[in-house]
Structure 1
Amino acid sequence: MKTPAELPILMSQRSTLTKDLAISFLMQQGVENPDCLSLAAGLVDPETLPVEETLRAAQQVLATRESGIRALQYGTTPGSAQLRSELLTYFADLEKCSTESLGIDASQMILTTGSQQLLSLVCETLLDPGDICLVAGPTYFVFAGNLAGVGARTVTIPSDDQGMDPAALDHALEQIASMKELHRVKLIYAVSYYDNPSGVCLSTSRREQIVEIAKKWSREHRILVLEDAAYRELRYDGEEHPSVWSFDQERANVIYTQTFSKTFSPGIRVGFGIVPKDLVTAICERKGNEDFGSAHFNQKLIATVLRSGEYQGHLAKVRDGYRLKRDAMLAAAQKYFSDLPGVSWVHPKGGLYVWMTLPESLESGFDRPLFSQAVKHGVMYVPGELCYAGPVEDRPRSQMRLSYGVLPVDLIDEAMRRLADAVRETQSARTSNDVSS
């Protein structure tokens, strides 16, 4: 007879839905290959991290015993009233209007551990196994993991250089309705600014159309649009777009989420969501089960840097630094890849990523020769197929997400040179095999 220690642990069905996550494999590869230059990591540039600003904010928060005790105590589930008040003003500035004309109050704002927590909370609150979320192709692969983790089905909507195609979205919903499954559609997910992974910015006209389509197909229940605006403030050039949220005049169909992780500090991990009034209680109850509220002290830090004006000065420096790195990656792509037939890439106006497409014969997955060759050359990337939801066999196989967030300018150039060498050698080996066979 087996001892208790020898008996298996019975895992939940949900735990099996989130196994073998790509992010875990990438982290493992980074540890095992420390000399690799990572174009995969979606981390921020360490040079942008606000050590001095955070120190000054912490000194203010802890200036008296009373203020320190308040900051170090538990907060509330929806978050610090002080920060939510500051964020109303901050968000109104982003929306270029007064706080009064936002049409919301602080009760509709929920503070989270980065924006990722709100994405997870929305999935857990809205989606049952078998429910449907429509996403762009490609899409943020960590959110695709959130959907898989709750057993949701995904429908991928084609996108182009203006983002998700509204005509294709409308057609997909029409098809779902014809199959009598419209009742399973709960959510449309859109990364509205400088998309992770593609770097594409959703055009202004399409933002409005997506909201209208969600309302059009809201028959027996509301179909919500989840706007992920994590990269909104990382604009380096090009048109400034209004939020998707701004086109929802009733403030009833769009959930908005943003984070300070990319623009200030991922270590502090403060994000926020703006949700329809009748969704606040459900999300807060789910969040309360998880953490009773995100880190209160961190919220006090962000409130302080917003109130002091230091945040905007820091943000300007962050933008300037990333603009140089974006330009360095695009210049390196032109230098090392322009002579390779069938290779193209997006020229993003902001964000942290360049999306590269290879010839269809050159697959980029973890288990393909190109990835092995890249690691051998000392460089890593995110395979594009990870950034599509739905059946693996239906995903494009020859794309890559390249991040310029972590590496300094000179190493971005070197990493792109190594990657181009890996592509050339893989192509050459494939051609030789084709000839010999």
Structure 2
Amino acid sequence: MSTTASAFTPSVSAQRADGQAIGYLMQQGIENADCLSLAAGFVDPETLPTALVDKTASRLLSDSETGKLALQYGTTGGSDRVRAVFRDYLARLEGDEDRVHNVPLDQIMLTTGSQQLLALLTEAIFNEGDICLVAAPTYFVYLGVLDGVGAQVIPVKTDDNGMCPDALDAELRRIDELGQLHKVKLVYVVSYHDNPAGISVSNDRRPKLLEVTKRWSQDHPIYLLEDAAYRELHYDGEELPSIWSFDTGYDSGDQQHVVLSQTFSKSFSPGLRVGLSVLPPELVKPISDLKGNQDFGSGHLSQNIVAEVLRTGEYWDHLAGLRTSYRAKRDAMVAAAEEFFSGIDGVTWRTPAGGLYVWMSLPEHIPTGFDSPLFARATEVDKVMYVPGELCYPSGWEDRPRHQMRLSYGVLAAAGIREGMRRLASAVRAVIDSK
């Protein structure tokens, strides 16, 4: 009898996860460690609150009772004691204490960063072939999550004011005419200073996007996932209300459509991995059940640390300093773009009012993908990295633009940002001149 083992075949889910852009991008970062990175979406290490976390953890653990509570299991969605503090935080952020405090604690869920919530929600509502509508461009890691469940991803026209409500309405009408409306489960919107383009949905479009979503929720609810990961990294102009604030279902007890997702990874510490979400009631159990299979509760000590800095108000002092730091780095990148790119025909960029990213477009005949001459020149000769913009569109979309870049000012100091932009401009000029 032969003892040769048969070949291992990964599951369908594992096969779908193969070759995801985030893994390849991180591999490129390792292989090109000598490059200045305008690619990494990491936060500035100089802004991480080491002293504050040390003081807060010591304060929690120095008291036997609070220390034991923090080191014990919580519950799947987070302990009620801690969730109450996060609800207070959300009430302050929303500027509407009565409305937020009327949300039951069990509709508030604490997760391992906001990424876990995105994954859990996707697993809870999508079957293979179901449809998600996304802004074009959008957060490329979430596109990988959608690919993982076999979802159809449909891009919706986006401009400087965010996803266009009329375009969303037209796509939903087209899907309905094809007899596929029953497959539409979600509209995904990064509402503040989005990753990748730095765009915020304008004030007038926020209720309109929700209205379109609600109007097409005919035989089943279509949810609007508001990813507000960059909400608090706001530097200029008015602070906008959340899309969630326009969902009257949370006030009337009618169908609630908005899932609000936030994270403390960008505004405090990604290493603590604390995310906050508000869920419509019918989603609480399926998402909790799935989360229970994963971890039956995210890191309780991390949640307690963040809750404590919220309770004492120290979080808001940290946030003020963070905004000042990132505003200066944003200004450094935009100034460098003016200095090094303004003389290159066909290159444009946006100045974001917040977040961590500048979105740049090159002439349409200059591709920026991993296999492009520009990426090779940038990483091998000029020693600088960026994120190809094509990653931020559905992979199956034949018309996706291929001449854009996401540039991050998160990690590098101002001098490094300027040098990175100088190197990138050198690479762009070299490729254009070679055409």
Aligned residue for 1:385?
Answer: 390
Which residue of structure 2 aligns with residue 205 of structure 1? 204
Contact map agreement 1:38 1:407 (CA 8 A) in 2: yes
Residue equivalent to 1:18:
17
The residue that corresponds to 1:65 in the other structure is 64
Deviations 1:116-154 (A, max 9, x none): 100001100000000000000000000000100000001
The answer as to whether partners of 2:127 and 2:150 remain within 8 angstroms in 1 is yes
Partner of 1:124: 123
Q: Could you say which residue in structure 2 is the equivalent of 1:159?
A: 158
Give the match for residue 279 of structure 1.
283
Aligned-partner SS, 2:134: strand
After superposition, give the CA deviation of every residue in 1:93-134 in whole Å (9 maximum; x if it has no partner): 111111455541211100000001000011000000000000
Q: Deviations over 1:311-333 (max 9, x none)?
A: 00101111000000000000000
Whole-Å Cα distance in 2 between the matches of residues 9 and 74 of structure 1? 36
User: Within the alignment, does 1:364 sit opposite 2:368 as a pair?
Assistant: yes
> Following the alignment from structure 1 to structure 2, what is the Cα–Cα distance between the partners of residues 150 and 83?
32
Is the deviation greater in 163-172 or in 68-77? 68-77
Displacement after TM superposition at 1:29 (Å) = 1.7
Q: Secondary structure at the match of 2:65?
A: helix
Q: What TM-score comes out, normalization by structure 2 length?
A: 0.97
Residue type of the alignment partner of 2:224: V
Q: Name the structure 1 match of 2:416.
A: 411
SS in 1 for 2:398: helix
Q: What residue is the counterpart of 2:29 in the other structure?
A: 30
Q: Which residue of 2 aligns with 1:223?
A: 222
1:340 aligns with 2:344: yes
Map Cα deviations across residues 139-180 of structure 1 (whole Å, 9 max, x no partner). 000000010000000110010000001100000000000001
Amino acid at match of 2:37: S
Q: Distance in 2 between matches of 1:105 and 1:327?
A: 41
Following the alignment from structure 1 to structure 2, what is the Cα–Cα distance between the partners of residues 375 and 382? 12
Task: Describe the shift of the 1:369–1:392 C-alpha distance in structure 2 as closer, same or farther (beyond 3 A).
Answer: farther
> Displacement of 1:390 after TM fit?
4.3
- Which residues of structure 1 form unaligned runs of 5+? 431-437
Deviation of 1:402 after TM superposition, in Å, equals 0.2
Range that drifts further, 65-74 or 239-248: 65-74
Q: Conserved in 2, the CA contact under 8 Å of 1:343 and 1:357?
A: yes
- Code of the aligned partner of 2:187: I
1:51 is aligned to 50
Structure 2 spans left out of the alignment, 5+ residues = 251-255
Give structure 1 regions of 4+ aligned residues with deviation exceeding 3 angstroms. 1-4, 99-103
Q: Retained in 1: the 8 A contact 2:124–2:286?
A: yes
Greater Cα offset, 30-39 or 348-357: 30-39
* Distance in 2, Cα, partners of 1:196 & 1:401: 8
Residue of structure 2 equivalent to 1:91:
90
TM-superposition CA deviations, 1:28-73 (whole Å, max 9, x none): 1221222100010000000010001001110111012332222111
Q: Paired residue for 1:139?
A: 138
SS at match of 1:118: helix
Distance 1:345 1:221 in 2: 40
Corresponding residue for 1:434?
Answer: none
Deviation at 1:279, TM superposition (A): 1.0
Name which of 316, 322, 326 aligns with 2:326. 322
Report if the CA contact (8 A) 1:357-1:399 is conserved: yes
Contact preservation (8 Å) 1:362, 1:398 = yes
**Deviations 1:219-244 (Å, cap 9, x if unpaired)?**
10010000000000000001211000
* Distance in structure 2 (CA, Å) of the matches to 1:101 and 1:236: 25
Structure 2 CA distance for partners of 1:109 and 1:425, relative to 1, 3 Å: same
Q: In the superposition, relative to structure 1, how do residues 268 and 100 fare at CA in structure 2: closer, same or farther (>3 Å)?
A: same
Moved more, 240-249 or 92-101: 92-101
> Alignment RMSD, CA only?
1.1
Q: Could you tell me which amino acid in structure 2 is paired with residue 381 of structure 1?
A: Y
Contact 2:185 2:223 in 1 (8 A): yes
> In the alignment, is the contact (CA less than 8 A) between 2:87 and 2:100 conserved in 1?
no
What are the superposed Cα offsets for residues 245-291 of structure 1, whole Å, 9 maximum, x if unpaired? Answer: 01111130000000000010000010011001111111101100111
What is the CA distance between 1:299 and its match in structure 2?
0.6
Q: Which whole-Å CA distance do the structure 2 matches of 1:212 and 1:182 have between them? A: 16
Aligned residue pairs total: 429
TM-score by length of 1: 0.96
* Equivalent AA in structure 1 for residue 140 of structure 2: F
Q: Which moved more, 1:248-257 or 1:68-77?
A: 68-77
Indicate if the aligned counterparts of 1:163 and 1:200 stay in contact, CA closer than 8 A.
yes
Asked if 2 retains the 8 angstrom alpha-carbon contact of 1:80 and 1:299, the reply is: no
Tell whether the 8 Å contact from 2:90 to 2:100 is kept in structure 1 after alignment. Answer: no
How far the C-alpha of 1:8 sits from its partner, in A, is 1.5
Native 8 Å contact 1:260 1:269 kept in 2: yes
Q: Secondary structure at the match of 1:111?
A: strand
Q: In the alignment, residue 156 of structure 1 is paired with which amino acid? A: P
Amino acid at match of 1:389: P
Deviates more, 1:168-177 or 1:384-393: 384-393
CA 1:240–1:100: 2 relative to 1, 3 Å: closer
Q: 2:305 corresponds to which residue?
A: 301
Residues 2, 353 of structure 1: alpha-carbon distance in 2 compared, 3 angstrom cutoff: farther
Identity of aligned residues (%): 54
Distance in 1 (alpha carbons) for counterparts of 2:273 and 2:100: 29
Structure 1 residues 65 and 417, CA, compared in 2 at 3 Å: closer, same or farther? Answer: same
Q: 2: CA distance between counterparts of 1:10 and 1:69?
A: 44
Q: Deviations over 1:358-385 (max 9, x none)?
A: 0001000000000001102110000000
Distance 1:102 1:203 in 2: 26
Asked if 2 retains the 8 angstrom alpha-carbon contact of 1:79 and 1:294, the reply is: yes
1:256 counterpart (242, 257, 260):
260
Whole-angstrom CA distance in 1 between matches of 2:121 and 2:234 = 27
What's 1:352 paired with?
A: 356
Shift of 1:82: 2.2
Classify the secondary structure of the residue corresponding to 1:190: strand
User: How far apart, in 2, do the equivalents of 1:367 and 1:23 lie?
Assistant: 16
